Amino acid sequence: MSATIHNIPVRPTGELFKVPDGYFERFTSELMMKIKQTDAAMQREKGRFRAFSKFYERLRPFVSAAAVLLFAVLLSHFFYVAISDDSGISVSSTAVSDNLTDSEMADAYTYFITEYDAFYGIDE
Amino acid sequence: MKSDEELLQALRDPSCKYDAFEEIVRRYSQPLYLQIRRLVQWHDDADDVLQNTFLKAWGAIASFRGESRLSTWLYRIALNEALTFLTRTKTADSLDEAVDGAARSLQSDPYFDGDELQARLQEAISLLPPKQRVVFNMKYFDEMKYEEMSDILGTSVGALKASYHLAVKKIEAYFRERN
């Protein structure tokens, strides 16, 4: 079929573009190899994710129990601190006081009194 | 030889899905390549776009419902891929370089079988915006009906006619200027 653009018969009778010899055979085999490799990689990824999910499913009750325990500990600590002192700072720590000797406690008390007097300008 | 429907059926069977897709690639790689090559003009670019086309098709074949023919569906993917490629390269290249290079290089391209006039036509086509280039190729070289083009491109027949008319005018102007 002949057609013209601006009176120029340009429509080619055959195909204008050629390809290298054996191009389509090569293209098909290379493409299929690429597809299979990509699929295999995806399967491996899926397998890994599935294994992790399975492991997590087994672990979940323990994780939940640990979370509940941690929450309970934090909650009890919060209440302990709140009840011990209105300012929110616990002043009675048995662990600390047990380790201090009487003289150390007396020193600490003297230091506190001195600082207190100095701060408020109280003379002895 | 299996029909497209049989091949699509076979694709759902994991044991023979690769063979079925390979058959589809064998069947459609050549016609799709030629469509793509007319748009992008260079073999290496056409090779890349064709590969992307089939990779996209493989990824989406599970969602293909058979509402259109397999060939139409593949054609649509190929054109979209080619359009994406053209839009990307058009913004990357300067227009002048593309124009100067096109005809000269095409004639020295061992995979181009046309004469000087045909190389010049390809040069003129390469100056068209990507969508107009697609419309022109489909109408002028493939002698496709506007309705069929509309089905593939998802554009109205009126818009396609206008697009083709504009493309022809631009090509005529190109030849007028150079004669």
A53 Cα to chain B: minimum distance (Å): 25
Cα separation, A118 vs A112, whole angstroms:
10
- Give the separation between CA A123 and CA A121, rounded to whole angstroms: 6
Q: How confident is the model over B134-162, as a mean pLDDT?
A: 90
Label the pairing between strands A8-9 and A4-5.
antiparallel
The confidence band for A2, taking pLDDT boundaries of 50, 70 and 90, is: very low
Was domain B1-92 assigned CATH 1.10.1740.10? yes
Residues of A in contact with B122 (CB under 8 A): 16
Average model confidence (pLDDT) across chain B: 85
Interface residue B168 vs chain A (CB under 8 A): yes
Largest CA distance in chain A: 121
Q: Is B101 left (phi over 0), alpha (psi -120 to 50) or beta?
A: alpha
**What percent of chain B shows pLDDT beyond 90?**
37
Residue ranges with strand state E in chain A: 4-5, 8-9
Mean pLDDT value across residues A68-95? 75
**What are the C-alpha distances in Å from A104 to residues A91, A97, A99, A108, A122?**
16, 10, 10, 6, 24
Geometric angle at alpha carbon B30, from B26 and B36, rounded to 5°: 130
Question: Which among B122, B134, B143, B141 is positioned nearest to B163, based on CA atoms?
Answer: B134
Q: Which of A3, A6, A35 sits opposite B58 (nearest CB)?
A: A35
Residue A1 reports pLDDT greater than 50: no
pLDDT digits (tens, 9 = 90+) for B26-38: 999 999 999 899 8
Lowest-confidence region among A11-15, B51-55, B89-93, B169-173: B89-93
Q: Does residue B66 come out as left (phi exceeding 0), alpha (psi in the -120 to 50 range) or beta?
A: left
pLDDT for B1: 76
pLDDT band at B157 (very low <50, low <70, confident <90, very high): very high
pLDDT at B116: 80
Summarize pLDDT for B98-117 with one digit per residue, the tens: 555 555 567 777 888 777 88
Question: What is the least distance, in Å, from the CA of A50 to any CA of chain B?
Answer: 20
ipTM of the complex: 0.79
Name the residue ranges covered by the structural domains of chain A: 20-87, 93-124
Q: Which residues lie across from A97 on neighbouring strands?
A: none
CB atoms within 10 A of CB A37: 10
Residue B26 burial by Cβ neighbours in a 10 Å radius (0-12, 13-18, 19+) = middle
Record: contact A31-B55, CB cut-off 8 A = yes
Residues of A whose CB is below 8 A from B165: none
C-alpha distances (whole Å) from A48 to each of A34, A58, A61, B139 are: 21, 16, 21, 51
- Average pLDDT over every residue of B124-128: 88
Question: From B30, which residue of chain A is nearest by alpha-carbon distance?
Answer: A24
What's residue B163's pLDDT? Answer: 94
Residue spans per domain, chain B: 1-92
pLDDT score for A91: 53
B137 neighbourhood in chain A, CB within 8 Å = none
For the stretch A19-64, pLDDT in tens is 999 999 999 999 999 999 998 998 888 888 888 888 888 888 899 9
Between positions 19 and 48 of B, the ones with CB within 8 A of A are 21-22, 25-26, 29-30, 33-34, 37-38, 41, 43, 46-47
Name A17's bridge partners.
B112
Looking from the CA of B153 toward its CB, the CA atoms found within 13 Å total 27
Of A8, A14, A24, the CB nearest to B117: A8
Which pLDDT does position A37 carry in this prediction? Answer: 93
Q: Mean pLDDT over residues A90-114, rounded?
A: 71
